[in-house]
Amino acid sequence: MEEILKVNGLSKQFDDLPVLDNLSLSVKKGEVVVIVGPSGCGKSTFLRCLNGLEDIDEGEVLLGEEKVNPNKKNLSRTRERIGMVFQSYDLFPHKTILQNITLAPIKVKKRKKAEVEEEAIKLLDRVGLLSKKDSYPRQLSGGQKQRVAIVRALIMHPEVLLLDEITAALDPEMVREVLDVVLSLAKEGRTMLIVTHEMAFAKAVADRVIFLENGKIVEEGSPEEFFDNPQTDRLKRFLKTFSYEK
Amino acid sequence: MDFNVIKDYLPLYIKAFMLTIKIGWIGIALSLGIGVISAFILHFKIPFFSAVVKVYVELFRNTPLLVQLFFVYFGLPKLGISISAEACGALGLGLLGGAYMAESFRSGLGAVKLSQTESALALGMKKRQLFTSVILPQAITLSVPAVVANLIFLLKETSVFSAISLMDLMFTAKDLIGLYYNTTECLFMLVIFYVIMLLPVSVLGSIVEKKARFKMFGD
């Protein structure tokens, strides 16, 4: 299958602290790659480098043929092609749910308002939030806000979707409603890079799982290999922290 | 207290009241303009201008209005520029208020969360779109409480206008006391007129504040 995102030798430091160390990765169209790892291993920074929210010290990120480079003027164009959903939802508090979703397509893509609203309503209906279209973000629960944030990213028709710990701030019951949406996106063949701590979800949604530590890929494999037959001691120890025995 | 005295003085007070309001609001309009422009300059860190604004803000926040008025009223004619006492009052108030407003708007702009910027950027918005449709509306809401406090503060500061012989409320009260010694009545009316001037601002301000807060934070 066609390669959609390619990362070559990506390195990044915060002052003297290396966060990403010569990282390379290639993602095919329609592939769902889940990245797991301990806190501070560089998972989030890695995603943020992919759409230029963080500067890159060395290496390159290629989206199709186009290079993602924070110093270039076409960065906002590249970002239109890469959707991102954050842990803290970050909906715009002064806009209604519908306005939150339609703002970028209208302002950035210059699409017609009526047409965008029609699409927004369809997407809202799909995630079960049509009745909230005229509410404000403050009136929604965390899980509902996160589903809106996903819709807000989807309506830009991104080629790749980056999900950065999107359930980390949610109650267990709300985690489910958000992850169900993500699962359905995976089923329809969306290309996604997902950072998460939900191992059961990772196993269900991923085509490939990557274990990141100290900015390096320690192990990667299919979810079956990864979770049922980990090779490195480090990954074995990491996975053990998620299971409880008396 | 002699109510006949109050009745006799009423027209003088009303006249002074209107003048105080007129100069007060011209000054405030000026201060809003200066404040917004200064805050933008500080927020975008425009070279040179932002240094000028910083000096201006510190200078005017750290000197009393009375001193500033003296500088404008007695200083400008020495430079060959003569302006009326009214213009002087409005200008002085505008410059003082501008410094305070600049800080209020700047802190509003600074208080919008960085993650708002990032999520807008991630949607492909350009810096300008992001500023006008995401940052600015939130910044305005966030600066409402500080701006309302400034409004009340500035309207009260108009009481030093009497020093440059503007016939405002304070001047009228002092003048009448000097002429007729009806101290109790004159001061009573002074208090009442200041309350009449400021209470609506205060009440309206807190309504706007509540509405703005509710829209942003839901409480």
Collect all residues of chain A within an 8 Å Cβ-Cβ radius of residue B121. Answer: 53, 76, 79
Amino acid identity of residue B134, one-letter, is V
Is the CB of B124 less than 8 angstroms away from the CB of A80?
A: yes
**Cα atoms in the Cβ-side hemisphere of radius 13 Å centred on B88:** 26
Look up the pTM and report it: 0.86
- The two tokens of residue A72 are 């270039």
The ipTM estimated for the assembled molecules is 0.90
Structure confidence at residue B215 (pLDDT)? 72
Q: Is B72 helix (H, G, I), strand (E, B) or coil?
A: helix
Per-residue pLDDT, averaged over B44-69, amounts to 94
Per-residue pLDDT, averaged over B45-64, amounts to 95
Residue of chain B minimizing CA distance to A54: B118
DSSP per-residue codes, B141-210: HHHHHHHHHHHHHHHHHGGGGGGGT---HHHHHHHHHHHH--HHHHHHHHHHHHHHHHHHHHHHHHHHHH
Answer whether A2's CB lies under 8 Å from A57's CB.
Answer: no
DSSP per-residue codes, A93-132: TTS-HHHHHHHHHHHTS---HHHHHHHHHHHHHHTT-GGG
Q: Which of A138, A16, A18, A157 is nearest to A82 (CA)?
A: A157
Structure confidence at residue A205 (pLDDT)? 92
Q: β-pairing, A160-164 with A216-221?
A: unpaired
Per-residue pLDDT, averaged over B203-211, amounts to 90
Per-residue pLDDT, averaged over A31-44, amounts to 91
Q: Which of A202, A196, A200 is nearest to A47 (CA)?
A: A196
Answer whether A120's CB lies under 8 Å from A139's CB.
Answer: no
B218 at A interface, C-beta within 8 A: yes
Would the pLDDT of B167 be above 80?
yes
- In this predicted model, what pLDDT tens digit does every residue of A81-113 receive, in sequence order? 999 999 999 999 999 999 999 999 999 999 999
Answer whether B95's CB lies under 8 Å from B64's CB.
Answer: no
Is the CB of B118 less than 8 angstroms away from the CB of A90?
A: yes
Is the CB of B122 less than 8 angstroms away from the CB of A76?
A: no
Write out the CATH class of domain B3-217.
Answer: mainly alpha
B111 at A interface, C-beta within 8 A: no
- In this predicted model, what pLDDT tens digit does every residue of B114-161 receive, in sequence order? 999 999 999 999 999 999 999 999 999 999 999 999 999 999 999 888
Structure confidence at residue B217 (pLDDT)? 67
Contacts 24+ apart (CB under 8 A), A52-55: A52/A78, A52/A79, A53/A84, A53/B118, A53/B121, A53/B122, A54/A12, A55/A12
Q: Is A46 helix (H, G, I), strand (E, B) or coil?
A: helix
Structure confidence at residue B47 (pLDDT)? 94
What's the Cα-to-Cα distance from A82 to each of A23, B13, B118, B156, rounded to whole Å?
19, 66, 13, 54
Structure confidence at residue B52 (pLDDT)? 97
Structure confidence at residue B134 (pLDDT)? 95
Going from N- to C-terminal start, the domains of chain B cover: 3-217
User: How big is chain A by its Cα radius of gyration, in Å?
Assistant: 18
Amino acid identity of residue B157, one-letter, is E
Structure confidence at residue A143 (pLDDT)? 93
Per-residue pLDDT, averaged over A50-75, amounts to 83
Treating both helix axes as pointing N-terminal to C-terminal, what angle do A142-154 and A97-107 enclose, rounded to 10 degrees?
Answer: 20
Give residue for tokens 């500023």.
Answer: B131
Q: Which of B92, B99, B100 is nearest to B168 (CA)?
A: B92
Residue of chain B minimizing CA distance to A70: B121
Answer whether A135's CB lies under 8 Å from A100's CB.
Answer: no
What's the Cα-to-Cα distance from B215 to each of A105, A131, B136, B212, B218, rounded to whole Å?
24, 19, 15, 5, 6
Would the pLDDT of A72 be above 70?
no
Query: What is the distance in angstroms between the CA of the first residue and the CA of the last residue of chain A?
Result: 45
CA A94, CA B214: separation in Å to the nearest integer?
A: 10
Answer whether A90's CB lies under 8 Å from A165's CB.
Answer: no
A55 at B interface, C-beta within 8 A: no
CA B116, CA B32: separation in Å to the nearest integer?
A: 26
Structure confidence at residue B21 (pLDDT)? 92
Collect all residues of chain A within an 8 Å Cβ-Cβ radius of residue B217. Answer: 93, 138
Per-residue pLDDT, averaged over A142-163, amounts to 95
Query: What is the distance in angstroms between the CA of the first residue and the CA of the last residue of chain B?
Result: 46
Would the pLDDT of B219 be above 70?
no
Structure confidence at residue A144 (pLDDT)? 94
Structure confidence at residue B76 (pLDDT)? 86
DSSP per-residue codes, B15-64: HHHHHHHHHHHHHHHHHHHHHHHHHHHHHTT-TTHHHHHHHHHHHHHSS-
Answer whether A29's CB lies under 8 Å from A4's CB.
Answer: yes
CA B30, CA B128: separation in Å to the nearest integer?
A: 26
The pLDDT confidence band at residue A67, using thresholds 50, 70 and 90, is: confident
- In this predicted model, what pLDDT tens digit does every residue of A105-124 receive, in sequence order? 999 999 999 999 999 999 99
Structure confidence at residue A71 (pLDDT)? 67
Least confident of A40-44, A116-120, A140-144, B109-113: A40-44
Put residue B77 in one of left, alpha, beta given phi > 0 → left and psi -120 to 50 → alpha: alpha
Q: Which residues 127-156 of A have a C-beta within 8 angstroms of B?
A: 136, 138-139, 149, 152-153, 156
Treating both helix axes as pointing N-terminal to C-terminal, what angle do B49-61 and B3-43 enclose, rounded to 10 degrees?
Answer: 150
- In this predicted model, what pLDDT tens digit does every residue of B60-111 receive, in sequence order? 999 998 999 888 888 888 888 888 889 999 999 999 999 999 999 999 999 9
The pLDDT confidence band at residue A70, using thresholds 50, 70 and 90, is: low
- The two tokens of residue B213 are 């807060």
Answer whether B52's CB lies under 8 Å from B98's CB.
Answer: no
CA distance B194 to chain A (A): 36
